[in-house]
Structure 1
Amino acid sequence: MNFLDGISRGVLGEPAFVLGIIACIGLIVQKEAMERVIQGTIKTILGYILIQIGASAAGVALGNLSLLIQRGFQVIGIIPHNEIIVALAQINYGNYIAWIMLFGMVIHLLIARWSPLKYVFLTGHHMLFMASMLAAVLAVSSLSKWKVILLGAVLLAMAMSVGPAVIQPFVRKITNNNTIAVGHFNSIGFVIAGLIASCFKSEHKEEKETPLPGFRRFQVLFQDHILSTTLFMFILFLLAGFFVGRETMEELFFSRPPIVIAVMQAVWFAAGAYVILMGVRMLLSEIVPAFQGISEKIVPNGIPALDCPILFPYAPIASIFGFLFSLMGGVAAMLLFIMRSNQYTIIIPGIVTHFFSGGAAGVIAYRIGRKRGLVTACFVHGFVITFLPYFLVPILSGLGYVRATFGDSDFAIMGFFTKWILNFFLTL
């Protein structure tokens, strides 16, 4: 168990370390000079750490926004939040999770080596999330431990291999090449966004990213995505503060004036988004060339599948509007729950999920269907990723009743599929 804990929490639990090792091995295989190996390894790790730092800074603002939305709508419900639900799964099924991750990665690499699915899933934390979900669903069954582990590993490998493949046609249209893929378990959500945006595809292709109609007077501001992000979040916090009220705002933020709160939260978020973009650029500039060395030896023509923020630099403004309209779709789904359900089955939009998945969906939708495609596709995307977790909650019975569930579309889809496979085996 110490060895497995070392793998799941020490090696696979540190994606930056894993990517650094991959970069180092890749550069050594290519017989690069020692200084180039050191440079590439450190910059790869540094790039991923910058993404984490940016996500943490942006997450502070997003967490505060989520709190304001809950207070503003006066709702108590279930929040799709991967980290919370995984922490519970680790307590109950840590042994299963470690084995599923280990064997799942081995099977995944075999699939990449010997099948047309040449994608190598490198988003370590999402691998942990999916392994945790699979363990929570399978471990409560009457199957023996090793059958649970083997079935979970096969399903995890399948998800890591198929997920990037179904998104790749849209990713190629964004990057204009086939050198990277997206390894993020919201592939169904991205496909939905891409398909809907395709309905708005126009023959006239804009060369530059432009704001939505009605914002043309502020064209100069929107040409700088950091300024536009700051203004966008400032307006969003002001609106949230309006619904909550001045007294509640001051109570939550230590008696600070609402205008100061809105400004500082907006700047925190924009700073986090800026650091994420810088980290993505640094990571891609190092990991893609280095990965070619490994792919030649282990997975010929292999394509690294990285987390969805790698799409943000291709249309930064679209990623922000994608977040906005995805969140609006999530709020619409929440209102539907309020009207048709009791308070304990309301799914509250997960702000972090909508930021990352909605932002990437915004880039996909904008590059395919432009402005109309972005608005429609991201709204539907947000509705879907808020609605699907409702059906996943009863499947996670092994964790007991908790006010959290997995976000992103693939967790719900894999949960349904795993339950169906499990029932099939039990009836044999």
Structure 2
Amino acid sequence: MNFSDAISRGVLGEPAFLLGLIACLGLIIQKHGIEKIIQGTIRTILGYILIQVGASAAGVSLGNLSLLIQRGFQVIGIIPHNEVIVALAQINYGSYIAWIMLFGMVIHLLIARFSPLKYVFLTGHHMLFMASMLSALLVVYPMEKWQIIIIGSGLLAVSMSVGPAIIQPYVRKVTKSDDVAVGHFNSFGFLLAGLIASCFKIKDKDKEEKLPAFFTRIQVFFQDHIISTTLFMVGLFLTASLVVGSEKVGELFMDRHPIVISIMQGTWFAAGVYVILMGVRMLLSEIVPAFQGISEKIVPNAIIALDCPILFPYAPIASIFGFLFSLLGGLLAMLVFISIPNQYTIIIPGIVAHFFSGGAAGVIAYTIGRKRGLVVASIIHGFAITILPYYLVRILSGLGFVRATFADSDFAIWGFIAKWILENIFRF
């Protein structure tokens, strides 16, 4: 294994190890005892792995839901799915990706050290996603390898510094502090959700939160957000099954009854969400205090930026509604594509992207605009993150034609920015 492979598949390629290493160094700098160092390091790694385990369980359920939606609407198109498109990019551009990640992180830390943007982006898999997108975009231009690496590293570093900064005012309203930021490349989507929700901000919060009598009677029952999540997802699967038809559902799930499938898939999803929330709490309880030790030495007053599920525990029900309404916005965007004559490129909503990004957008929107802000902002957010990948597909010619593209808004935005910069460079 060469050095670039060690970077891409080693420290930067394994977020749990990276965060555990940071926690360990932070605790050592703070001169904690060996017992606390070991406990904090292990709990940090365990917290992130719990998030991965929960995401995997929820992802299986979401994948099945996506399959039902495709069969129900009888459409074949391009699905925004980061993991799929990154796997394709690494086949041809693995070395570029590794070097861009390495130098991008170095430049990012220099920006945090010497500029007002004190955010340290620690979502390792999203670094990989953005580096892959930039590599696939840059290689089509007539440049040397070192030029591609320099430009790609600079763009990656700036995106990691700017993204958390532009949404921190909204994240601060959710978390009530500046202890943590969101490091997830959907910052423009979150910004859009916050701006839309701000249009529904009212002064009399108590009046806005007053529930109808029917909801008041069942409020106690729905206070358990895991039960609520299970019921919502079971209902969603049942609805999708009705649209598809029992015969096609049987073909997809080995002749199992749609009701059984819906109950089990909804429960699997809720279990995944529960594990994600446990992992987030464990991770934050260890990484934030440990990170303070490093920030004091390397980047004074730094704010750690972690993946968007860190917002879910602050409003779990809003995160589920954010996902559902974001998915609705994505389906509306798909119908727009279908309705356009001679339209051969149809973006099918990526369920995973709508769950994570839509859920976090829902938490932000609800915090700012309560129920009405949540509904409107989440639908517009879902519409936007489904439309934007359509334009990104057209500039990623380095990957050829594949039925997948990058999800989340920042990939398209930074793709447009990179393309504009390069077109102006090679115009002269």
- Over residues 296-351 of structure 1, what are the superposed CA-to-partner deviations in whole Å (9 max), with x where a residue is unaligned? 00000011100000000000000000000000000000000000154631100000
Which amino acid in 1 is paired with 2:47?
A: G
Q: Which amino acid is the alignment partner of residue 253 of structure 2?
A: F
Aligned match of 1:41: 41
**Could you give the per-residue CA deviations for residues 124-147 of structure 1, whole angstroms, max 9, x where no partner exists?**
000000000000000111011111
Q: How far 1:205 moved relative to its partner?
A: 3.0
* CA distance in structure 2 between the aligned counterparts of 1:78 and 1:367, rounded to whole angstroms: 33
Please name the residue that 1:242 is paired with: 242
Alpha carbons 1:331, 1:349 under 8 Å: kept: yes
The 1:160/1:39 distance shift into structure 2, 3 A limit, reads: same
Note the C-alpha offset of 1:293.
0.0
- TM-score of the two chains, using structure 2 as the length reference: 0.98
Whether 2:175 is the aligned partner of 1:180: answer no
**Alpha-carbon distance change, 329 to 215 in structure 1, aligned in 2, over 3 angstroms:** farther
CA shift for structure 1 position 215:
4.3
2:88 matched residue in structure 1: 88
Structure 1 residue 252 corresponds to structure 2 residue 238: no
Determine the structure 2 residue equivalent to 1:286: 286
Q: Which is further off, 217-226 or 363-372?
A: 217-226
The question of 1:31 aligning with 2:25 is answered no
1:347-358 aligned within 5 A: 347-358=347-358
Q: Give the SS at the match of 1:395.
A: coil
> What residue is the counterpart of 1:380 in the other structure?
380
Paired with 1:395 and 1:211, the residues of 2 have a C-alpha distance of 48
For 1:340 and 1:290, locate their aligned partners in 2 and report how far apart those are by CA, in whole Å. 53
CA–CA distance in 1 between the matches of 2:211 and 2:45? 34
- Cα distance between partner residues in 2 of 1:148 and 1:213: 61
Please list the CA deviations of residues 367-389 of structure 1 after superposition, one character each: whole Å capped at 9, or x if unmatched.
10000000000000000000000
- Closer, same or farther: CA 33–412 of 1 in aligned 2, 3 Å: same
* Aligned residue in 1 for 2:417: 417
Aligned length: 428
For residues 137-181 of structure 1, give each alpha carbon's deviation from its aligned partner in whole angstroms, at most 9, with x where no partner exists.
001110111111100000000000000000100000011110000
State the AA in 2 paired with 1:75: V
Q: Which stretch of structure 1 is more off in the superposition, 339-348 or 269-278?
A: 339-348
Show the 5 A alignment for 1:105-116.
Answer: 105-116=105-116
Q: TM-score, normalised by structure 1?
A: 0.98
Deviations 1:259-310 (A, max 9, x none): 0000000000000000000000000000000000000000000111000000
Name the CA distance, whole Å, in 2 between partners of 1:343 and 1:270: 37
Which shows bigger deviation, 153-162 or 138-147? 138-147
Q: 1:201 and 2:207 equivalent?
A: no
Structure 1's 30 and 208: CA in aligned 2 closer, same or farther, altered over 3 A?
Answer: farther
Residue 364 (structure 1) aligns with? 364
Q: 2:140 is matched with which residue?
A: 140
Match in the other structure for 1:220: 220
Tell me the CA shift for residue 35 of structure 1: 0.4
Q: Tell whether 2:84 aligns with 1:98.
A: no
Q: Hey, what's the Cα distance between the residues in 2 that align with 1:193 and 1:241?
A: 30
Structure 2 distance, partners of 1:151, 1:185, is 19
Q: Give the match's secondary structure for 1:347.
A: coil
- Amino acid paired to 1:7: I
Alpha-carbon spacing, 1:42–1:351, altered in 2? closer, same or farther (3 Å): same
Equivalent runs, 1:299-314 vs 2, <5 Å: 299-314=299-314
C-alpha separation in 2, matches of 1:86 and 1:207: 47
| Contact 1:311–1:363 (CA under 8 A) maintained in structure 2 | yes
After superposing the two structures, state which structure 1 stretch, 247-256 or 214-223, moved more: 214-223
The code of the aligned residue for 1:192 comes to L
1:19-56 Cα deviation digits (max 9, x unpaired): 00000000000001110001100000000000000000
Matches of 1:291 and 1:207, distance apart in 2: 40
Residues 212 and 371, structure 1, Cα contact 8 Å, conserved in 2: no
Query: Any idea what SS the aligned residue of 1:203 has?
Result: coil
Offset at residue 207 of structure 1 (A): 12
Which AA in structure 1 matches 2:81? H
What's the counterpart of residue 125 of structure 1? 125
- SS where residue 62 of structure 2 aligns? helix
The verdict on how the C-alpha distance between 1:93 and 1:77 changes in structure 2, with shifts beyond 3 A counting, is same
SS at match of 1:301: coil
Offset, 1:222? 1.7
Amino acid in the other structure paired with 2:270: A
Q: Tell me if the contact between 1:76 and 1:343 (Cα under 8 Å) persists in the aligned partners.
A: no
| 8 A Cα contact 1:319 1:363, kept in partner | yes
- Map of 1:393 onto structure 2: 393
* Partner residue in 2 for 1:330: 330
CA distance, structure 2, for counterparts of residue 95 and residue 425 of structure 1: 24
Provide the rounded CA distance (Å) in 2 between the counterparts of 1:228 and 1:217: 15
Alpha carbons of structure 1 residues 345 and 244: separation in structure 2 relative to 1, 3 Å = same
Indicate if the aligned counterparts of 2:208 and 2:370 stay in contact, CA closer than 8 A.
no
Distance 1:404 1:36, change over 3 A: same
Supply the distance in 2 between the matched residues of 1:213 and 1:126 (Cα, whole angstroms). 44
Matches of 1:134 and 1:258, distance apart in 2: 43
Deviation of 1:251 (Å): 0.9
Looking at structure 2, the residues matched to 42 and 103 of structure 1 have their Cα atoms a distance apart, in angstroms, of 28
In 2, the alpha carbon distance for the partners of 1:396 and 1:215 equals: 48
1:164 counterpart = 2:159: no
The alignment partner of 1:345 has SS state of coil
